[in-house]
Structure 1
Amino acid sequence: MITRFTDIINGLKDFDRKFTNGELVSKMLRSLSKDWNSLRMLIDNIKDVNTYPLEELYGTLMTYELNNTKTKEKTRRNKEKMKEPPKWKIVLKSTNDEGSSNTNMSDEELDDLVLLVKK
């Protein structure tokens, strides 16, 4: 965005259009999307736009974007984790009766148990 803004301003300078620093800072702030409203309002209220250096504004915008990107990525990862189904753990009680057999279990129940253990 900064490169594009600079290209447009340089193109206008070729047509003998001169801009003050305050005009450039104001134009840059107005061109920001709604996602940047909080930063725009902060700069408007705290800094004097007419004396705020354009290079410092560029640095502020880049820093804000980096921090905002990290925050959005962290939020996205947290949402994905919340969407994952819970990982259920099954605990089976083990008994070791010598001499007993699995005759009290049907073949169908044994097959289900084998499938459960394989999972």
Structure 2
Amino acid sequence: MKQDEPIVDMITCFTDIINGLKGFDRKFTNGELVSKMLWSLSEDWNSLRMLIENTKDVNIYLLEELYGTWMPYELNNAKTKEKTRRSKEEMKEPPKKQISLKSANNEGSSNTNMSDEELNDLVLLVKKWRGF
């Protein structure tokens, strides 16, 4: 199995190969098929492979059950990878702070004459923005 290959593609390829070998009168036991499928998984599937090998008897474990186990695992794994990717992207970009100041536009006069309340608001805003 190739890295990041969908499990459905791997199952299809495996089935094609097995059917081709059956055409040459090659017989496989269920245990052989399950073992070969588990062996052909990529490293992304190590945890599930080990779980199946340690808890199930591969000689009686059906391929259909194996496929049924893999489908939800793959969907869950894809969601987890997407969440991880998003959180890494968010960590790279620092949050953008937005501030707005009150405009005191009096024609003909300068903006340096602020009331005490406006000045206190501005000081609090700067302190909050700088993290004081």
Q: Please give the range of the TM-score, normalised by the shorter of the 2 chains.
A: 0.7 to 0.9
Structure 1 unmatched runs, 5+: 105-119
Q: What is the Cα deviation at residue 88 of structure 1?
A: 1.1
Change (3 A) 1:40 1:87: same
| 1:28 corresponds to 2:37 | yes
Match of 1:55 in 2: 64
8 Å CA contact 2:104–2:111 kept in 1: the answer is: no
Identity %: 78
Size of the aligned set, in residue pairs, is: 103
| Aligned residue identity for 2:91 | M
Q: Does 1:101 align with 2:109?
A: yes
Query: Map of 1:84-95 to 2, 5 A cutoff?
Result: 84-92=93-101
The separation in 2 between residues aligned to 1:56 and 1:79, in whole angstroms, is: 35
TM-score, normalization: structure 1?
0.77
| Residues in 1 aligned to 2:97 and 2:54: alpha-carbon distance in whole angstroms | 52
Unaligned runs of 5+ in 2: 1-9, 113-132
Higher relative contact order (CA 8 A, sep 6+): 2
Aligned to 1:117: none
Structural RMSD (CA): 2.0
